[in-house]
Amino acid sequence: MENFSCEKFFLFKKKKFFFSQFDYFDARRVEDFRRGLLNYLEGMLRAQEKVADEWEAYLPGVRAELDGGGGGGDATKAEDDN
């Protein structure tokens, strides 16, 4: 009888330890996923901002070309900056 309760006690401790570790790693996995997704979205936002900045620099030159001005305007300057 004594041996059985001792084994039961150790099994209980192992089970408790296992579930505590499982909870820890599960929470960590969720946090890592959240952090990775946030980094990805921030990178996409920076890329979109860069595209918008480039477009704003390029658009006046295109408008000048379409209006028949023939001058590159800001678009030439933006290309020279790169």
pLDDT in tens, the chain (82 residues): 456 688 888 888 888 888 889 889 999 999 999 999 999 999 999 999 999 999 999 999 988 888 986 555 554 555 555 5
| pLDDT for the residue numbered 4 | 65
Burial bucket for residue 31 (CB in 10 Å: 0-12, 13-18, 19+): exposed
pTM confidence score: 0.53
pLDDT number for residue 81? 55
**Cα–Cα distance for residue pair 5/36, rounded to 1 Å:** 46
d(CA 61, CA 23): 58
Q: What pLDDT does residue 38 have?
A: 97
Please report the pLDDT score of residue 11 as a whole number.
Answer: 87
